[in-house]
Amino acid sequence: MDFAAYRRHDATSLAAEVAAGRVSAETLLALALARLAEVQPTLNPVCRLMEAEARAQLVRGLAAGPLAGVPLLIKDASQDYAGLPTACGSRALASLPPAREHAHVVRRLLDAGLVVFGKTNTPELALKGVTDPQAFGRSANPWDPARTPGGSSGGAAAAVASGVVPMAAGNDGGGSIRIPAACCGLVGLKPSRERISVGPAQGEVWFGASSEGVISRSVRDTALALDILAGPEPGDPVALPRPATPFVDQMRAPLRRLRIAWCADSPLGEPVDDEARLAVERTVALLRELGHDVEPARPDIDGRALAHSYLHIYFGQVPATVARAVAQGAREDGFEPLTRLVATLGRATSAEALARELQRWNDYARALGALHARYDLYLTPTLASPPVLHGTGDPPALQLAALGALRATGLLGLLKRAGLLDGVVMQMATDSLRHVPFTQLANLTGTPAISLPLHWTGDGLPLGVQFVAAPGEDGLLLQLAAEVEAARPWFDRLPPRFS
């Protein structure tokens, strides 16, 4: 097999080629490594190469799983690989001792026979919708290297879109699978909360807002990956059982006529690019052609309040992460300035304020549940604009400099505790989500959501659309995705420079 043939396969069909003896796992690994060497200087998708680990895996012998022999990249956040550090885009975390055991996700991927040969790039602590860590450098979008591949699973999306691998592992705490998928013309599913175990190092990530998953080029790969990864592990705080019917089979089942609500307005009240609106409008037309009932509707949710609640995940988690790292021997000044700023704001946030914002998740879930009582799915843009140019991931430079100066004097925490920064904090929430305001709802409510590559702009940039389902309805999302994929195929639509 040469690279042109490799590029024509998804993970499912590559595994079939290996099983039939038409290609070896060694050949597939060599093709993936060669492609990575070709694209790494421009796209920087991988922050840690694991060629030695992959070759050792081949020597030991692959597990006889459903994707045996297929090369895979895991994300350098939450997806611990025993014997290696999990840096999460951070110079400080990279200095800590290596993981003692595989994350359950990584173990299940290895048990499926996948050959893990690297970790993909992510912003520090996976905090952004762009991938630009100071520790490892920014990743670029194969469709236009001057633009972001999204984040936080941006390295994963860049690797898949450029042909290094047909599928890569990621995770999604606020859109971190769906945003890169939308930026790079790929399929990105955030499964239902607790569908996939995030242990054993953690019980829940980001108070349960984050889910593990994959970014892929085909719906069937995403369904098969969910079959591989789904199911509880001993000690999980919540046990969501495997479905009686595998997701691959659910995906193939005939789809009933659905009731689908749609909205293209930003929940923040901010502008939405005409291309994002067009993406939804064309999807609405397609859904009606397929026989579904589609009408405008939206959940009764204050989007700015939700953004404020979402920012409090950071205020709760970032100080704890920094403190834990420092206790293990890392230096706090090893974290990026923005991370240290968020940590300071978080330390100045009261337990009462954090609890209040967490309690509001129930309000958002009830409102979305009321919508799902009337509609099977909810359709929005995945992004409010096409993939943005590099340099848009941080707050405005002047604001960041002013807050950094206040932090250095010790006044920042005092002002935050006194409530004198409430407007600044709200503006930070709005600024950070302006281009990606649609994805956080599914994280705070625990519902499954998928981004599908159904639109390309006039400039040839991908711009995905998002479907949100009721809790536990991952299979319904996959059914609809498969139907749409058959009607408007995207698999052969590749970045011209990296085809």
Q: What are the distances in angstroms from CA 157 to CA 8, 43, 175, 178?
A: 17, 10, 13, 10
> What backbone torsions phi and psi does residue 157 show, to the nearest 5 degrees?
-65, -40
Phi-psi region of 480 (alpha: psi -120 to 50; beta: other; left: phi over 0): alpha
Amino acid at position 339, single letter: T
pLDDT for res 418: 80
Phi-psi region of 63 (alpha: psi -120 to 50; beta: other; left: phi over 0): beta
Whether the Cβ atoms of residue 130 and residue 148 lie closer than 8 Å to each other: yes
Token couple for 408: 């250095």
- Taking only Cα atoms into account, the Rg of the chain, rounded to an integer number of angstroms, comes to 21
Q: What is the H or E stretch that residue 377 is in? A: strand 377-381
Measured CA to CA, the distance from residue 168 to residue 216 in angstroms comes to 7
Report residues of the chain scoring pLDDT below 70. 393
- Within 13 A of 306's CA, how many CA atoms are on the CB side? 29
Whether the Cβ atoms of residue 274 and residue 396 lie closer than 8 Å to each other: no
pLDDT for res 447: 98
pLDDT for res 422: 84
pLDDT for res 393: 67
- ∠ CA 353-354-355, rounded to 5°: 90
Whether the Cβ atoms of residue 161 and residue 456 lie closer than 8 Å to each other: no
In terms of Cβ atoms closer than 10 Å to its own Cβ (0-12, 13-18, 19+), residue 312 is buried
pTM of the model: 0.97
Measured CA to CA, the distance from residue 323 to residue 300 in angstroms comes to 38
> What backbone torsions phi and psi does residue 192 show, to the nearest 5 degrees?
-60, 150
Structure-token match 């190092």, residue found: 201
Q: Which residues are catalytic?
A: 75, 152, 176
